[in-house]
Amino acid sequence: MAATLSVGHLDLILKCAEVCNLNCSYCYYYNMGDDSWKRRPKKIGSDTLGALHKWLSDGIRDLRIDTVTVTLHGGEPLLLQPKELEDICAGIRATVAEAGATCRLSVQTNGVLIDAQWLDVFSRQDISVGVSIDGPPAVQDRYRVDKQGRGSSRAVENGVALLHSQPGIRSGSLSVIDPSLSGSEAYAYLRRLGFSWMDFLIPMDCYSDAPSPERVHAVGKFLADVAAAWFDDPKQDDVVVRIIDHYLRSFQQYAERVVPNRHPKLSGHAPIVVVSVHSDGTLGFREEVFNSGFGKNDAIQAIGTTSLLSFVNSSPFRQLEVAYSTVPEDCSSCEYLGVCGGGDPKNRFDPTTGTFANRSVYCEGLKLLFGYLIDRLVADGYPAHRIEAKLLSNASFLREVAKLS
């Protein structure tokens, strides 16, 4: 990536807190064997923030970035005091503006600690709020528990109710798919809580511990059920389900060319750079590949010693970016290549080879979803020949991009 190329958009995941008030059993950050968080400050300090401002300002200018989205992440970012988090937001916003870019702020929270003070901070700083919530209490309280093993559903529901009492605050839900739950039940529950924007995350399984065929099918069925619930929602036009919305665009002839979970250059836009910064200033990659094992043996880089320009040109970063524009060989003739391009790289990683040159471990589940979406579009009157033409066009485009990688 040349210094003169505009990357368009920087997506910065700021680990402003390295601790959490919950102890979710499936958490990739605390319960999957990585204990690096123990060696970092519990919250980001003023010296690190000062270094971050310079690193960010230099990076915006070096890469001619026009938009910066900062997601305050953790751990649980609301373990900071409201004034601390507000000062972080104000400082970052000023730095980005001075460097000539547009700043967008969001926070990803488990929702337990939301109160009136936090609502004031979200409003004053124009912070979008993402709430991590997996489903009804029976599901939420099975996995998303506190340090004493107690369920979090009641506290989260109270926090969400407060959040939705302020319609000026943009909010959405983020749910890790639980294959034992019905997708339609999950959708209905989130709608009852008042969410009109939601996303569902495919579990982080990869080739180090591939899921069973039954689990793969259940994940695909979950997503198909979510799609069915959205199609049948009388207020469908008011609701966005991100993963379903992105896949639907891949089928619709006149939709913007978007292939979800792939490198953004595939949509014809300037690339998006996705970087995480920990509380001690060390740099990392996309959250979605954290548990795959990718990059675990690479030398640690930090904002105090590595510029953003250098980081995005480093070997491991480039390897990950290439993975987003690579078509796995065993996907090249698949009828759905133009929909998923091989699947999310987090589900394609093989630690024995250190590569992403495989189809997703959830391939068959995704096919189940794609088949449902096509059948539903056709049943609702969308011409089948237009779907076929869009898939062929997308697949051809993917192959051309892959040749450039």
For the stretch 101-116, pLDDT in tens is: 999 999 999 999 999 9
- 240-253 average pLDDT score: 89
Instruction: Indicate whether 306 and 335 sit together in one domain.
Output: no
Instruction: Indicate whether 314 and 388 sit together in one domain.
Output: no
Say what the pLDDT of residue 280 is: 95
Q: Which of 25-29, 89-93, 117-121, 178-182 has the lowest mean pLDDT?
A: 25-29
Is residue 27 pLDDT above 80, yes or no?
Answer: no
User: What is the spatial distance between Cα 60 and Cα 90, in angstroms, rounded to a whole number?
Assistant: 17
For the stretch 117-134, pLDDT in tens is: 999 999 999 999 999 999
- Tell me if 349 sits within 8 A of 206, measured CB to CB: yes
Say what the pLDDT of residue 378 is: 94
Instruction: Indicate whether 404 and 280 sit together in one domain.
Output: no
With 0-12 / 13-18 / 19 or more C-beta atoms within 10 angstroms meaning exposed / middle / buried, residue 46 is: exposed
What percent of the chain is modeled with pLDDT above 90? 60
Kind of pairing between the strands at 102-109 and 67-73:
parallel
Residue 85: inside a domain: yes
For the stretch 208-217, pLDDT in tens is: 889 999 999 9
The parent domain of residue 207 ranges over 203-262+325-405
Greater confidence, 56 or 35? 56
Residue 98: inside a domain: yes
Instruction: Indicate whether 45 and 117 sit together in one domain.
Output: yes
How many domains are contained in the chain?
2
Is residue 99 pLDDT above 90, yes or no?
Answer: yes
The domain that contains 45 carries what CATH number?
3.20.20.70
Instruction: Indicate whether 374 and 225 sit together in one domain.
Output: yes
Instruction: Indicate whether 384 and 331 sit together in one domain.
Output: yes
- Tell me if 200 sits within 8 A of 223, measured CB to CB: yes
The per-residue DSSP string of 306-357 comes to: --HHHHHTSHHHHHHHHHTT---GGGTT-TTHHHHTT--GGGT-BTTTTB--
Is residue 45 pLDDT above 50, yes or no?
Answer: yes
